[in-house]
Chains A and B, each alone.
Chain A
Amino acid sequence: MVTLKINDQEVKVAEGTTVLEAAKKLGVIIPTLCNHPDLCVAGNCRVCVVEQKGARTLIAACAMPVSEGMDIHTNSLKVRNARKHIVELLLSEHRADCTKCYKNQKCELQTLANEYSFGEHLFLDLVEGHAYNIDRSSPSFTKDDSKCIRCQRCVRTCAQLQHVSAIAVANKGAHMKISSFHDRPMSHVVCTNCGQCVNRCPTGALTEKTYIDQVWDAIYDKDRHVVVQTAPAVRVALGEDLGYDPGERVTGKMVTALRQLGFDSVLDTDFTADLTIIEEGTELLSRLKKVLVDKDNSTALPMFTSCSPGWIKFIEHKYPDMLPNLSTCKSPQQMFGALAKTFYAKKRNLDPAKVISVSIMPCTAKKYEADRPEMRSSGYKDIDFVLTTRELAVMIKQAGIDFRTLEPSHYDSIMGTSTGAAVIFGATGGVMEAALRTAYELVTGKPVPFKNLNITPVRGMEGVKEATVKIEGTTEEWRFLEGAELKVAIAHGLVNANKVAKAVSSGKASYHFIEIMACPGGCIGGGGQPIPTNAVVRQKRMDAIYSEDMHMDLRKSHENPEVVAIYEEFLEKPNGHKSHELLHTHYVAREAY
């Protein structure tokens, strides 16, 4: 343990603790910008500078480990002057048109400006005469360099969490900036649209492409029937943007709010999550059968899940030779979209051309996914608009809804019923658990041998998880699987996905089924989720997801009555002709940069 003084208060902390963390322990707040708990220390913005008695210069609290006897002052005149200068410097190269900015009131730079800079600016405006690039090419987010404070959080995110490095720091000196490969548009590089960088950008330099106005237009268009679906991870995070603590489940209130916003039907992505389990589970079993029984070596194993569009784009760029290993199942969002303008429209007697399908997602990559040319199997754009959790919160605020006082209500049907297996899609390991709950039972006629159906080995925040499930007591049809050990792996965050993909591609891993989520923690940590998202917040959202599961009457996808019904009425059978037309897709190999 190390003893030091901060603002004359003594504190004891473990060796290796930073001054910033030590101060936090005392309740002393030191402002930060480049620092983010998910990322390695950068120490480049310098707003966290503090005074250390006897040191020649100020020190960066985020980057300085404590040492015995340190005497730190966080608010001396020297510190305040330096901090004010630094904030003023950042503002001088920043196009601060806050009232026009999407990040207005949610911006870390603005908060600092509020505390340190009012009245006349100290320094010259450097924005004028500087040609900044505003890249609107990605369907998921906008990159506006004139709002960038060069904290490099995005670059560290893309490298350390996602192993993509679609963006990097380029040039030096006054020309230093955040750039894609040779300034190519973001839509034309390896970027997966995961939005993890967006979630960590302290300013308005990286923001999701917003479709709020288009959705309002659709809602107010009397000619349109607007259906909305909500992804599993939204209900455990939305509250954070509306005044709740992380980890509060607000499902019922959210449904009421959506209805009040004017959506014609409030439905649940969870329904198609259950459907995905049936389709994907069937696909896995049939691949196993082809390989084990038919000895068909053109069938690719292991099979990767395909519900995370960031992961899909990642593998398309980085491991195009493994595309046959991807499940052909569309993501739940896109299955929903395809059914909304076919099955749903027919049942509700609606002209599909007049149905507008909106989805509320924890994810920015879903915006990109909805725009993919493959996603038009209904004959229309299957999903018209994707809003993030954050955008929904904005709409709720715009509508003047007092979220806290709302009475909870239930999803509409049809396509609004779901099970606990679908809810857990929102957390890493959830798809695997849901799939195992159904597949095991399908093959053996018995529930998975875990207490309360909770398959704990696939749960948790470990970057790569592995599990083996021994299949015993199979029914006649699945006898070939008797005694087989199903090997599964789960990875979340593309840096971990890459590890697994690399192991598979080099033949070092022998899995059968692999769940991959592009974002850390799975969708609960999605790029479209409330800011801040960090390890503590992700854990709370994850706990909420599993508690939501435990509160559901039905917890296995194949028991979802609406799923049973849709096969009887419309789809006929899993992986059948109609399924293939509407619920499955294909992938394209992309370039390596």
Chain B
Amino acid sequence: MENKGLTKVDLIFESIDIRKVMTKAFEMTSEEIINEILESGLKGRGGAGFPTGLKWKYTAAEKEPEKYIVCNADEGEPGTFKDREILDRVVYKVYGGMAIAGRAMGAKKGFIYLRGEYRFLLPQLFLELHKFHKMISEIGYDFNIEYRMGSGAYICGEESALFESIEGFRGEPRNKPPYPTVSGLFSKPTSINNVETLVTAVMIIDKGAGEYVKLGTKDSRGSKVFSISGDTPIPGIFELELGMTVQEFVNEFGDGDTKAVQVGGASGFCVPRKKFAETIIGFEGVPTGGSMKLFNSSRSMYNVLHNYLDFFTEESCGQCTPCRVGCQQLLKGVEKVKKGEAKSTYLNELVKLADTMKVASKCGLGQSVGNAFKSIVENFREEIIY
């Protein structure tokens, strides 16, 4: 496995001449844009890590004249706040990414789904949008972006739930297939991309895929914005090259007493100290949408797990059995074990249940509850029982 060590990068927030990039993209053909992104090896930054170039290619290949590009700015994963920072500081790059994607796919309309918690950003975002629209129409783009607001529902970050929400329904994930590239928003071919993915795409167009692939590893190209919080002396947003180990990360950001790092938020994995050195942060190891939470030895991992399960019990959309009831069972189950009202071996049943949730839930939420559950229960069993 490739290990790049910890390197700070300044790509996402670096200021660029957006008009120049937009002009450059305007002179490229659809294939050229898509090939550039494909070559860069960029994978989605929203968590699932699907190759962005492929997503654009599939959407571009659809015959339907009406297509959409949606920017996922729902950022609800506990411990993630990088998209807010990006919107706050370089939103013009987000807009740019959408317009370029639109050009590559033949979409004239973009929607940004912004979580309700970030509503305070709107006035400034609108101001920037106005400028952006003016600029691209001068270049010759026929592209328009609108905002849609969330209203406090984590599941609306899931792409099909997000479409449901924009369409005015409860944010209940849909059955797949069909996938968004075939039938997404308003049942039209749709490419949905995370805020950071879009910005990265702009940077790739600006610098060229050749420059970009120098960053990161074979499976995890480029750099990534990390949202770092918990027991760290320097919480905040850091852009790092992909391919470091958790140990290297902890060396930089830990407080000297780190016992575990939760990588990827509540739906991610808990890496205990003994596995720091062997675990790579990236698609070859533990993938992350950017959330890194550090816990030192004063923290009870039972409390951490309980907090996550409570979160999922509330934020599950509730439609499917494994997730709706499974979350409640995991939550009540660990409570019982902790109180001594259930045998510690009951945890084994719960681990099996978590496995079922992983394979039988309808969407990524239910499918990933088991990540945190299993990695915490397996690594910190005593803390859950006593």
Residues of A within 8 A of B (CB): 41-47, 49, 56-58, 60, 63-65, 78, 81-82, 85-86, 89-90, 92-93, 122-124, 126, 149-150, 152, 169, 171-176
Contact = CB atoms under 8 A, between A and B. Distances in A.
A171 B318 contact: yes
Contacts of B359: 49, 56-58, 78, 82
Contact of B329 (A43, A81, A124, A152): A124
Contacts of B314: 172-174
A44 B321 contact: yes
Contacts of A43: 175, 320, 362
A64 to B, nearest CB: 8
B379 to A, nearest CB: 23
Contacts of B353: 85, 123
Given A172-B316, A173-B324, A174-B328, A81 B358 contact: no
Interface in B313-332: 313-322, 324-329, 332
A184 B80 CA distance: 39
Contacts of B171: 172
5 contacts: A44-B321, A46-B361, A58-B360, A122-B349, A172-B155
A43 B327 CA distance: 19
Of A46, A58, A176, the most chain B CB neighbours within 10 A belong to: A46
Given A46-B362, A57-B360, A89-B326, A176 B319 contact: yes
Contact of B321 (A46, A64, A65, A126): A46
Given A85-B352, A85-B353, A176-B317, 16 more contacts: A57-B361, A57-B367, A60-B362, A63-B175, A82-B359, A86-B321, A90-B325, A123-B329, A123-B333, A172-B153, A172-B316, A174-B314, A174-B318, A174-B327, A175-B318, A176-B319
B317 to A, nearest CB: 5
Interface residues of B, number: 38
B177 interface: yes
Contacts of A46: 320-322, 360-362
B343 interface: no
A47 B349 CA distance: 19
A172 B170 contact: yes
B290 to A, nearest CB: 23
Given A150-B324, A169-B170, A124 B333 contact: yes
A172 B361 contact: no
Contacts of A89: 321-322, 325-326, 329
Given A57-B367, A90-B321, A173-B324, A126 B316 contact: no
B296 interface: no
A81 B356 contact: yes
Q: Is the interface of B mostly helix, strand, loop or mixed?
A: helix
Contacts of B332: 124, 126
Contacts of B319: 42, 44, 150, 152, 169, 176
Nearest to B312: A173
Interface of B: 153, 155, 170-172, 175, 177, 312-322, 324-329, 332-333, 336, 342, 349, 352-353, 356, 358-362, 367
A123 B153 CA distance: 28
Contacts of B358: 57
A85 B330 CA distance: 13
A174 B326 contact: no
Contact of B356 (A85, A90, A176): A85
B297 to A, nearest CB: 31
Nearest to B311: A173
A176 B318 contact: yes
Nearest to A67: B177
Contact of A172 (B175, B317, B356): B317
A46 B367 CA distance: 13
A173 B315 contact: yes
Given A124-B332, A172-B155, A174-B316, A45 B321 contact: yes
A126 B319 CA distance: 17
Contacts of B329: 89, 92, 123-124, 126
Of B313, B315, B332, B342, the most chain A CB neighbours within 10 A belong to: B332
Given A43-B175, A169-B170, A172-B153, A93 B316 contact: no
Contacts of B322: 46, 82, 85-86, 89
Nearest to A83: B360
A57 B175 CA distance: 13
A124 B153 contact: no
Contacts of A81: 352, 356
A46 B360 CA distance: 7
B93 to A, nearest CB: 33
Of A45, A60, A174, the most chain B CB neighbours within 10 A belong to: A174
Contacts of A45: 320-321
